[in-house]
Amino acid sequence: MSGIATVTAALKSQQIETPSWGFGNSGTRFKVFAQPGVPRDPFEKLADAARVHAVTGVAPAVSLHIPWDEVDDYAALAAHAADVGVRIGMINSNTFQDDDYKLGSVAHPDAKVRRKAVDHLLHCVDIMDATGSDSLKLWFADGTNYPGQDDIAARQDRLAEALSEVYARLGDRQRLVLEYKLFEPAFYTTDIPDWGTAYAHCLKLGPKAKVVVDTGHHAPGVNIEFIVAVLLREDRLGAFDFNSRFYADDDLMVGAADPFQLFRILHAVSLGGGFDPANDVAFMLDQCHNIEPKIPAMIRSVMNVQEATAKALLVDVDALRAAQLAGDVLGANAVLMDAYNTDVRPLLAELRQEMGLDPDPLAAYHASGYAEKIAAERVGGTQAGWGA
Ligand code: PSV
Ligand code: MN
Ligand code: MN
Protein backbone atom coordinates (compact mmCIF):
# COMPACT_ATOMS: atom_id res chain seq x y z
CA MET A 1 0.00 0.00 0.00
CA SER A 2 1.20 3.52 -0.75
CA GLY A 3 1.71 5.93 2.15
CA ILE A 4 -1.58 7.69 1.55
CA ALA A 5 -3.44 4.37 1.13
CA THR A 6 -2.14 3.31 4.56
CA VAL A 7 -3.40 6.57 6.03
CA THR A 8 -6.87 6.26 4.51
CA ALA A 9 -7.14 2.58 5.52
CA ALA A 10 -6.32 3.53 9.12
CA LEU A 11 -8.83 6.38 9.05
CA LYS A 12 -11.58 4.14 7.71
CA SER A 13 -11.03 1.58 10.43
CA GLN A 14 -10.83 4.10 13.29
CA GLN A 15 -13.66 3.79 15.81
CA ILE A 16 -14.66 6.73 17.97
CA GLU A 17 -16.99 5.90 20.84
CA THR A 18 -19.68 8.37 21.87
CA PRO A 19 -21.00 8.79 25.44
CA SER A 20 -24.70 8.24 26.09
CA TRP A 21 -24.67 11.14 28.57
CA GLY A 22 -23.50 13.56 25.89
CA PHE A 23 -26.94 13.29 24.27
CA GLY A 24 -28.95 14.28 27.35
CA ASN A 25 -29.45 17.70 28.85
CA SER A 26 -26.49 18.83 30.87
CA GLY A 27 -25.16 21.99 32.40
CA THR A 28 -23.17 23.31 35.27
CA ARG A 29 -23.96 23.47 38.96
CA PHE A 30 -25.62 26.80 38.14
CA LYS A 31 -28.07 25.87 35.43
CA VAL A 32 -29.09 23.13 33.06
CA PHE A 33 -30.41 24.57 29.80
CA ALA A 34 -32.96 22.10 28.45
CA GLN A 35 -33.00 21.50 24.71
CA PRO A 36 -35.84 20.33 22.47
CA GLY A 37 -35.78 16.71 21.34
CA VAL A 38 -33.27 15.30 23.82
CA PRO A 39 -33.65 11.58 24.56
CA ARG A 40 -36.07 10.44 27.24
CA ASP A 41 -34.41 7.08 27.86
CA PRO A 42 -31.32 5.03 26.94
CA PHE A 43 -33.04 3.65 23.84
CA GLU A 44 -33.42 7.14 22.43
CA LYS A 45 -29.81 7.99 23.36
CA LEU A 46 -28.69 5.03 21.26
CA ALA A 47 -30.89 6.20 18.39
CA ASP A 48 -29.18 9.62 18.50
CA ALA A 49 -25.73 8.07 18.69
CA ALA A 50 -26.67 6.03 15.63
CA ARG A 51 -27.29 9.27 13.71
CA VAL A 52 -23.73 10.35 14.51
CA HIS A 53 -22.43 7.05 13.18
CA ALA A 54 -24.68 7.20 10.12
CA VAL A 55 -23.12 10.45 8.89
CA THR A 56 -19.51 9.92 10.03
CA GLY A 57 -19.12 6.16 9.54
CA VAL A 58 -16.60 5.94 12.38
CA ALA A 59 -18.68 6.11 15.59
CA PRO A 60 -20.17 2.62 15.93
CA ALA A 61 -19.94 2.22 19.73
CA VAL A 62 -21.75 3.97 22.58
CA SER A 63 -20.64 4.11 26.21
CA LEU A 64 -23.32 3.61 28.84
CA HIS A 65 -23.30 5.09 32.34
CA ILE A 66 -24.94 3.10 35.11
CA PRO A 67 -27.37 3.95 36.71
CA TRP A 68 -28.10 6.83 34.34
CA ASP A 69 -28.79 4.23 31.64
CA GLU A 70 -30.29 1.57 33.89
CA VAL A 71 -32.95 -0.55 32.14
CA ASP A 72 -34.76 -3.76 33.05
CA ASP A 73 -33.70 -5.67 29.98
CA TYR A 74 -30.11 -5.15 28.83
CA ALA A 75 -30.32 -7.77 26.13
CA ALA A 76 -33.18 -5.74 24.63
CA LEU A 77 -31.07 -2.59 24.85
CA ALA A 78 -28.19 -4.31 23.05
CA ALA A 79 -30.61 -5.63 20.42
CA HIS A 80 -31.98 -2.12 19.95
CA ALA A 81 -28.42 -0.82 19.51
CA ALA A 82 -27.83 -3.37 16.76
CA ASP A 83 -31.18 -2.50 15.14
CA VAL A 84 -30.26 1.17 14.87
CA GLY A 85 -26.72 0.39 13.70
CA VAL A 86 -24.47 0.76 16.74
CA ARG A 87 -23.22 -1.43 19.60
CA ILE A 88 -22.78 -1.02 23.34
CA GLY A 89 -19.26 0.10 24.20
CA MET A 90 -17.88 0.63 27.67
CA ILE A 91 -19.93 0.36 30.81
CA ASN A 92 -19.14 3.35 33.06
CA SER A 93 -19.75 2.85 36.76
CA ASN A 94 -21.13 5.51 39.06
CA THR A 95 -20.22 5.43 42.74
CA PHE A 96 -20.52 9.13 43.34
CA GLN A 97 -24.17 10.12 43.47
CA ASP A 98 -25.60 8.39 46.53
CA ASP A 99 -25.72 9.99 49.97
CA ASP A 100 -23.74 6.97 51.25
CA TYR A 101 -20.73 8.11 49.21
CA LYS A 102 -20.12 11.37 51.04
CA LEU A 103 -16.77 10.10 52.36
CA GLY A 104 -16.00 7.96 49.33
CA SER A 105 -17.07 4.64 47.83
CA VAL A 106 -14.48 1.88 47.43
CA ALA A 107 -12.07 3.75 49.73
CA HIS A 108 -14.73 4.72 52.28
CA PRO A 109 -13.74 4.04 55.91
CA ASP A 110 -16.96 2.03 56.48
CA ALA A 111 -16.89 -1.53 55.12
CA LYS A 112 -20.68 -1.46 54.50
CA VAL A 113 -20.33 1.43 52.06
CA ARG A 114 -17.40 -0.26 50.35
CA ARG A 115 -19.52 -3.40 49.96
CA LYS A 116 -22.31 -1.41 48.35
CA ALA A 117 -19.85 0.22 45.94
CA VAL A 118 -18.22 -3.08 44.95
CA ASP A 119 -21.66 -4.64 44.46
CA HIS A 120 -22.46 -1.84 42.04
CA LEU A 121 -19.25 -2.54 40.12
CA LEU A 122 -20.11 -6.25 39.96
CA HIS A 123 -23.57 -5.29 38.69
CA CYS A 124 -21.81 -3.36 35.92
CA VAL A 125 -19.93 -6.53 34.95
CA ASP A 126 -23.29 -8.35 34.81
CA ILE A 127 -24.42 -5.64 32.39
CA MET A 128 -21.30 -6.25 30.32
CA ASP A 129 -22.29 -9.93 30.14
CA ALA A 130 -25.80 -9.04 29.05
CA THR A 131 -24.83 -6.43 26.45
CA GLY A 132 -21.62 -7.91 25.07
CA SER A 133 -19.60 -4.93 26.27
CA ASP A 134 -15.94 -5.81 26.80
CA SER A 135 -14.81 -2.94 29.04
CA LEU A 136 -15.67 -1.70 32.49
CA LYS A 137 -14.65 1.93 32.91
CA LEU A 138 -13.99 2.94 36.47
CA TRP A 139 -13.75 6.47 37.72
CA PHE A 140 -13.86 7.10 41.46
CA ALA A 141 -14.74 10.43 43.01
CA ASP A 142 -13.11 9.18 46.23
CA GLY A 143 -10.85 11.49 48.17
CA THR A 144 -10.73 13.86 51.10
CA ASN A 145 -11.20 17.58 51.59
CA TYR A 146 -9.07 18.24 54.66
CA PRO A 147 -5.64 17.21 55.92
CA GLY A 148 -6.09 14.54 58.57
CA GLN A 149 -9.58 13.60 57.37
CA ASP A 150 -8.50 10.04 56.54
CA ASP A 151 -5.37 7.95 56.14
CA ILE A 152 -4.00 8.23 52.58
CA ALA A 153 -2.31 4.80 52.54
CA ALA A 154 -5.24 3.03 54.20
CA ARG A 155 -7.51 4.39 51.49
CA GLN A 156 -5.16 2.93 48.85
CA ASP A 157 -5.40 -0.47 50.58
CA ARG A 158 -9.21 -0.35 50.52
CA LEU A 159 -9.20 0.72 46.89
CA ALA A 160 -6.81 -2.11 45.93
CA GLU A 161 -8.98 -4.68 47.71
CA ALA A 162 -12.11 -3.51 45.88
CA LEU A 163 -10.37 -3.47 42.52
CA SER A 164 -9.04 -6.98 42.95
CA GLU A 165 -12.52 -8.33 43.72
CA VAL A 166 -13.87 -6.73 40.55
CA TYR A 167 -10.89 -7.86 38.50
CA ALA A 168 -11.43 -11.46 39.61
CA ARG A 169 -15.02 -11.30 38.32
CA LEU A 170 -14.01 -10.31 34.76
CA GLY A 171 -14.52 -12.87 32.01
CA ASP A 172 -11.83 -13.89 29.54
CA ARG A 173 -12.77 -11.30 26.97
CA GLN A 174 -13.48 -8.53 29.48
CA ARG A 175 -11.18 -5.92 30.93
CA LEU A 176 -11.29 -2.94 33.21
CA VAL A 177 -9.96 0.51 32.44
CA LEU A 178 -9.13 2.81 35.32
CA GLU A 179 -9.47 6.56 35.08
CA TYR A 180 -7.56 9.17 37.10
CA LYS A 181 -8.46 12.75 37.84
CA LEU A 182 -6.42 15.38 39.62
CA PHE A 183 -9.19 16.84 41.75
CA GLU A 184 -12.95 17.36 41.96
CA PRO A 185 -15.14 16.58 43.74
CA ALA A 186 -12.44 16.03 46.39
CA PHE A 187 -10.21 19.03 46.90
CA TYR A 188 -7.37 17.91 49.17
CA THR A 189 -6.57 14.33 48.18
CA THR A 190 -8.05 12.27 45.38
CA ASP A 191 -7.47 8.54 45.68
CA ILE A 192 -6.54 8.14 42.00
CA PRO A 193 -5.24 11.60 41.09
CA ASP A 194 -2.77 10.73 38.35
CA TRP A 195 -1.62 8.16 35.80
CA GLY A 196 1.09 6.85 38.15
CA THR A 197 -1.42 5.82 40.79
CA ALA A 198 -3.74 4.29 38.20
CA TYR A 199 -0.80 2.47 36.59
CA ALA A 200 0.41 1.10 39.93
CA HIS A 201 -3.04 -0.38 40.64
CA CYS A 202 -3.29 -1.81 37.12
CA LEU A 203 0.13 -3.43 37.39
CA LYS A 204 -0.88 -5.22 40.59
CA LEU A 205 -4.19 -6.33 39.10
CA GLY A 206 -2.88 -7.91 35.90
CA PRO A 207 -2.91 -7.55 32.12
CA LYS A 208 -6.67 -7.00 31.87
CA ALA A 209 -6.37 -3.69 33.73
CA LYS A 210 -5.39 -0.59 31.78
CA VAL A 211 -5.34 3.16 32.29
CA VAL A 212 -7.81 5.71 30.89
CA VAL A 213 -6.47 9.11 29.92
CA ASP A 214 -9.21 11.73 30.20
CA THR A 215 -7.69 14.78 28.55
CA GLY A 216 -9.46 17.11 31.01
CA HIS A 217 -8.10 15.48 34.16
CA HIS A 218 -4.64 17.01 34.53
CA ALA A 219 -3.11 20.11 36.00
CA PRO A 220 -2.66 22.91 33.47
CA GLY A 221 0.49 22.48 31.43
CA VAL A 222 0.88 18.73 31.97
CA ASN A 223 2.40 17.04 28.92
CA ILE A 224 -0.32 14.50 28.12
CA GLU A 225 1.42 13.07 25.06
CA PHE A 226 4.32 12.05 27.30
CA ILE A 227 1.92 10.07 29.50
CA VAL A 228 0.40 8.48 26.41
CA ALA A 229 3.80 7.46 25.03
CA VAL A 230 4.85 5.90 28.34
CA LEU A 231 1.57 4.02 28.84
CA LEU A 232 1.66 2.67 25.29
CA ARG A 233 5.24 1.56 25.76
CA GLU A 234 4.16 -0.34 28.89
CA ASP A 235 1.09 -1.77 27.11
CA ARG A 236 -1.18 -0.11 29.69
CA LEU A 237 -3.07 2.49 27.68
CA GLY A 238 -6.67 1.28 27.69
CA ALA A 239 -8.69 4.24 26.52
CA PHE A 240 -9.07 7.94 26.04
CA ASP A 241 -11.83 10.11 27.34
CA PHE A 242 -11.50 12.96 24.87
CA ASN A 243 -12.72 16.45 25.60
CA SER A 244 -11.12 19.85 25.83
CA ARG A 245 -10.61 22.34 28.57
CA PHE A 246 -9.57 25.88 29.22
CA TYR A 247 -9.51 25.70 33.02
CA ALA A 248 -10.30 22.40 34.75
CA ASP A 249 -12.52 19.46 33.75
CA ASP A 250 -14.51 21.62 31.32
CA ASP A 251 -15.77 18.72 29.15
CA LEU A 252 -15.93 20.92 26.06
CA MET A 253 -15.81 19.50 22.54
CA VAL A 254 -12.53 17.72 21.85
CA GLY A 255 -10.18 19.72 19.67
CA ALA A 256 -12.00 22.97 20.42
CA ALA A 257 -9.62 24.45 22.98
CA ASP A 258 -6.30 23.13 21.75
CA PRO A 259 -6.26 21.25 18.44
CA PHE A 260 -2.47 21.20 18.48
CA GLN A 261 -2.44 19.29 21.75
CA LEU A 262 -4.90 16.78 20.28
CA PHE A 263 -2.58 16.34 17.30
CA ARG A 264 0.45 15.84 19.58
CA ILE A 265 -1.43 13.22 21.60
CA LEU A 266 -2.50 11.36 18.47
CA HIS A 267 1.03 11.56 17.10
CA ALA A 268 2.18 9.78 20.28
CA VAL A 269 -0.58 7.22 19.69
CA SER A 270 0.59 6.73 16.12
CA LEU A 271 4.25 6.25 17.05
CA GLY A 272 3.34 3.90 19.90
CA GLY A 273 1.18 1.64 17.72
CA GLY A 274 -2.04 2.75 19.41
CA PHE A 275 -3.99 2.85 16.14
CA ASP A 276 -3.39 -0.86 15.66
CA PRO A 277 -6.71 -2.50 16.63
CA ALA A 278 -4.70 -5.31 18.24
CA ASN A 279 -3.57 -2.87 20.94
CA ASP A 280 -7.18 -2.28 21.97
CA VAL A 281 -7.01 1.43 22.70
CA ALA A 282 -10.55 2.86 22.86
CA PHE A 283 -11.06 6.37 21.55
CA MET A 284 -13.96 7.63 23.57
CA LEU A 285 -15.52 11.05 23.87
CA ASP A 286 -16.39 12.18 27.40
CA GLN A 287 -17.94 15.57 27.01
CA CYS A 288 -21.22 17.27 27.67
CA HIS A 289 -22.78 19.92 25.53
CA ASN A 290 -24.24 22.52 27.82
CA ILE A 291 -25.22 25.23 25.36
CA GLU A 292 -24.64 23.71 21.93
CA PRO A 293 -27.00 21.23 20.19
CA LYS A 294 -26.02 17.72 21.18
CA ILE A 295 -25.95 15.65 18.00
CA PRO A 296 -24.18 18.24 15.81
CA ALA A 297 -21.67 18.80 18.64
CA MET A 298 -20.95 15.09 18.73
CA ILE A 299 -20.55 15.00 14.94
CA ARG A 300 -18.17 17.96 15.14
CA SER A 301 -16.18 16.20 17.88
CA VAL A 302 -15.86 13.01 15.86
CA MET A 303 -14.66 15.08 12.89
CA ASN A 304 -12.12 16.88 15.10
CA VAL A 305 -10.65 13.57 16.26
CA GLN A 306 -10.60 12.34 12.67
CA GLU A 307 -8.83 15.48 11.43
CA ALA A 308 -6.20 15.29 14.17
CA THR A 309 -5.76 11.57 13.48
CA ALA A 310 -5.27 12.23 9.78
CA LYS A 311 -2.60 14.83 10.52
CA ALA A 312 -0.87 12.49 12.98
CA LEU A 313 -0.86 9.71 10.37
CA LEU A 314 0.56 12.08 7.75
CA VAL A 315 3.73 12.71 9.76
CA ASP A 316 6.65 11.57 7.62
CA VAL A 317 8.09 9.23 10.23
CA ASP A 318 11.17 8.32 8.18
CA ALA A 319 12.09 11.98 7.72
CA LEU A 320 11.36 12.61 11.39
CA ARG A 321 13.62 9.76 12.52
CA ALA A 322 16.40 10.89 10.19
CA ALA A 323 16.26 14.43 11.53
CA GLN A 324 16.15 13.17 15.12
CA LEU A 325 19.16 10.90 14.63
CA ALA A 326 21.06 13.70 12.94
CA GLY A 327 20.35 15.95 15.90
CA ASP A 328 18.51 18.30 13.57
CA VAL A 329 16.22 19.96 16.09
CA LEU A 330 14.61 22.42 13.70
CA GLY A 331 14.33 19.86 10.91
CA ALA A 332 12.53 17.37 13.17
CA ASN A 333 10.17 20.03 14.41
CA ALA A 334 9.50 21.12 10.82
CA VAL A 335 8.48 17.57 9.83
CA LEU A 336 5.93 17.53 12.60
CA MET A 337 4.60 21.00 11.81
CA ASP A 338 4.28 20.17 8.11
CA ALA A 339 1.85 17.42 9.00
CA TYR A 340 -0.02 19.58 11.49
CA ASN A 341 -0.38 22.40 9.00
CA THR A 342 -1.79 20.16 6.27
CA ASP A 343 -5.42 20.83 5.41
CA VAL A 344 -6.81 17.30 5.69
CA ARG A 345 -10.43 18.24 5.03
CA PRO A 346 -10.31 17.37 1.28
CA LEU A 347 -8.75 13.99 2.12
CA LEU A 348 -11.48 13.25 4.65
CA ALA A 349 -14.23 14.40 2.28
CA GLU A 350 -12.91 12.01 -0.35
CA LEU A 351 -12.62 9.21 2.18
CA ARG A 352 -16.26 9.67 3.21
CA GLN A 353 -17.37 9.49 -0.40
CA GLU A 354 -15.43 6.25 -0.77
CA MET A 355 -17.34 4.99 2.28
CA GLY A 356 -20.64 5.91 0.64
CA LEU A 357 -21.18 8.90 2.92
CA ASP A 358 -21.88 12.56 2.32
CA PRO A 359 -18.53 14.42 2.31
CA ASP A 360 -20.00 16.91 4.80
CA PRO A 361 -21.43 15.03 7.83
CA LEU A 362 -22.91 18.13 9.46
CA ALA A 363 -24.70 19.20 6.30
CA ALA A 364 -25.97 15.64 5.87
CA TYR A 365 -27.33 15.64 9.42
CA HIS A 366 -29.02 19.02 9.04
CA ALA A 367 -30.59 17.93 5.74
CA SER A 368 -31.89 14.68 7.24
CA GLY A 369 -34.72 16.34 9.18
CA TYR A 370 -33.85 14.25 12.27
CA ALA A 371 -33.52 17.29 14.58
CA GLU A 372 -37.02 18.49 13.66
CA LYS A 373 -38.43 14.99 14.01
CA ILE A 374 -37.12 14.40 17.55
CA ALA A 375 -38.08 17.91 18.65
CA ALA A 376 -41.66 17.17 17.58
CA GLU A 377 -41.81 13.64 18.94
CA ARG A 378 -39.96 13.83 22.25
CA VAL A 379 -41.30 15.83 25.11
CA GLY A 380 -39.56 15.97 28.49
CA GLY A 381 -36.03 14.75 27.70
CA THR A 382 -33.80 13.60 30.52
CA GLN A 383 -30.84 15.24 32.11
CA ALA A 384 -27.44 13.68 31.53
CA GLY A 385 -27.10 12.64 35.15
CA TRP A 386 -25.37 15.43 37.04
CA GLY A 387 -27.83 17.03 39.42
CA ALA A 388 -30.58 14.70 38.20
C1 PSV B 1 -15.38 12.28 35.78
O2 PSV B 1 -15.07 13.64 35.72
C3 PSV B 1 -15.61 11.71 34.42
O4 PSV B 1 -14.61 12.14 33.52
C5 PSV B 1 -15.70 10.20 34.44
O6 PSV B 1 -15.28 9.64 33.22
C7 PSV B 1 -17.15 9.99 34.58
O8 PSV B 1 -17.56 8.70 34.31
C9 PSV B 1 -17.64 11.02 33.60
O10 PSV B 1 -16.82 12.16 33.90
C11 PSV B 1 -19.06 11.39 33.70
O12 PSV B 1 -19.32 11.94 34.97
MN1 MN C 1 -13.91 10.90 31.93
MN1 MN D 1 -14.17 14.26 33.78
pLDDT higher than threshold 70 for residue 1: no
Give dist(CA 386, CA 388) in Å, integer: 5
Q: Is residue 268 part of a domain?
A: yes
In a domain, 347, yes or no: yes
Atom of ligand 1 nearest to the CA of 94: 8
- Contact criterion met (CB below 8 Å) for 284 and 239: yes
Question: Is 387 within a domain?
Answer: no
Query: Integer distance in angstroms from the first to the last C-alpha of the chain?
Result: 51
Comparing 223 with 382, which gets the higher pLDDT?
Answer: 223
Q: Is the pLDDT of residue 66 over 90?
A: yes
Instruction: Kindly state whether residue 384 falls inside one of the protein's structural domains.
Output: no
Q: Kindly report the average pLDDT of the chain as a whole number.
A: 96
Contact status, residue 217 vs residue 182, Cβ threshold 8 Å: yes
- The closest ligand to the CA of 386 turns out to be 1
The pocket of ion ligand 3, defined by CB under 5 A, consists of: 249
Question: Which CATH number does the domain housing residue 254 bear?
Answer: 3.20.20.150
**Residue 130 resides in a domain:** yes
Ligand 1 centroid to Cα of residue 108, in Å, is 19
Kindly state whether residue 289 falls inside one of the protein's structural domains.
Answer: yes
pLDDT in tens, 38-52: 999 999 999 999 999
Domains of the chain: total: 1
**pLDDT, tens digit, 9 for 90 and up, residues 242-284:** 999 999 999 999 999 999 999 999 999 999 999 999 999 999 9
Q: Is 123 inside any structural domain? A: yes
Report the nearest atom of ligand 1 relative to the CA of 288.
Answer: 11
Q: Does residue 388 lie within any of the structural domains?
A: no
Cis peptide before 67 (omega within 30 of 0): yes
Note down the domain range covering 275. 3-377
Q: What percent of the chain has pLDDT above 70? A: 97
Per-residue pLDDT of 118-176, as tens digits, reads 999 999 999 999 999 999 999 999 999 999 999 999 999 999 999 999 999 999 999 99
The pTM score is: 0.96
Smallest CA-to-CA distance from 82 within 25, 136, 129, 133 is with 133
Residues with CB under 6 A from ligand 1: 92, 139, 179, 181, 214, 241, 249, 286
